[in-house]
Amino acid sequence: MIQHAGRFAPSPTGPLHHGSLLAATASYLDARRQGLQWWVRIDDLDSPRVASGAEDSILRTLDAHGLHWDGPVQRQSLHIDRYEAALTELSRQKLLFYCSCSRQTLADAQVYPGTCRHRHRPVADTAIRVRVDEAPIRFHDLIHGDQSEILSRSCGDFVVRRRDGFIAYQLATAVDDGSDAITRVVRGGDLLDNTARQIYLMQHLGLQVPTYAHLPVLVDSHGRKLSKQTSAPALNDRNAAANLLAVFPFLGLNPPAGTREWSPGELLDWGAVEFDLARIPPGSATFRL
């Protein structure tokens, strides 16, 4: 096992856009500053959403932008054994139950009402949920400061294996970050409210909890998060240096005159010296496309 790494974990649902470049660049620069390895993990468990060719295009784009990763590319689809082992361990702790509630039944519930908590035997076509409790989950986010969340009030018992059989994002992420000695998770701010659930799982699985930093969410002029759904354009690999320069200001990086002529590698070398998570403002930021 490689000790101490940062990571970028894209879902291969389409090509990277400026929002994903912000996350990739920030986690890369943070890892370089901290003297850590930087891993790329493809979050490809949700196979119906995997777009053909997306993984290749993501890796090509990272490479073109000088964002070179360490070691082999990781793939969640190759980690099913570790997720199953985690489920076995949570079950041994009597934390799991089978849930047959439909989306419609739960539509109005912000917090899972505990309807199926008594179901300890597998039934066909059910999700698996983990029980949560009243103990606050506390962590310090390097951009958003001290956080505290009581899961029984914010979300309630949550899904760790989906009804369709796929391992849920929370479990897969917690198990991978914890098992691969990922010590720094720098990612999009829209994932901040998933963090307490992931820490809860890591605590119960005896895994090391990373340090977290959640970046500003880039929104378009209508206030919508840049994403495939809002038609954020794919990055053009031929404009790699310009793309990096476009996201740098959102990372508190303001390159001096002259750097416009630099290569992506030169920009990242400069950024790795200057980068300071403490200079990144929390909240969302409008990105002019």
**Chain residues that interact with ligand GLU, rule: CB under 6 A:** 9-11, 43, 173, 187, 191
Query: Residue for token digits 């964002």?
Result: 67
Torsion of CA 25, 31, 34, 36, to 10 degrees: -160
The nearer residue to ligand GLU, 10 or 264, going by C-beta atoms, is 10
d(CA 13, CA 51): 5
Q: What is the number of the residue whose Cβ is closest to ligand GLU? A: 43
d(CA 223, CA 219): 5
Q: Which of 156, 261, 187, 138 is nearest to 10 (CA)?
A: 187
235 close to 18: Cβ distance less than 8 angstroms: yes
The nearer residue to ligand GLU, 175 or 191, going by C-beta atoms, is 191
Largest CA distance in the chain: 66
- Min dist CB 191 to ligand GLU, Å, is 5
The nearer residue to ligand GLU, 20 or 243, going by C-beta atoms, is 20
The nearer residue to ligand GLU, 217 or 267, going by C-beta atoms, is 217
Q: Which of 7, 2, 47, 22 is nearest to 227 (CA)?
A: 22
Q: Which pairing describes strands 127-130 and 5-8: parallel, antiparallel, or unpaired? A: unpaired
Q: Which pairing describes strands 284-286 and 182-188: parallel, antiparallel, or unpaired? A: unpaired
Neighbours of 162 (CB within 10 A): 16
- Min dist CB 185 to ligand GLU, Å, is 7
The nearer residue to ligand GLU, 191 or 240, going by C-beta atoms, is 191
- Min dist CB 287 to ligand GLU, Å, is 17
- Min dist CB 241 to ligand GLU, Å, is 24
- Min dist CB 43 to ligand GLU, Å, is 4
The nearer residue to ligand GLU, 43 or 157, going by C-beta atoms, is 43
- Min dist CB 12 to ligand GLU, Å, is 9
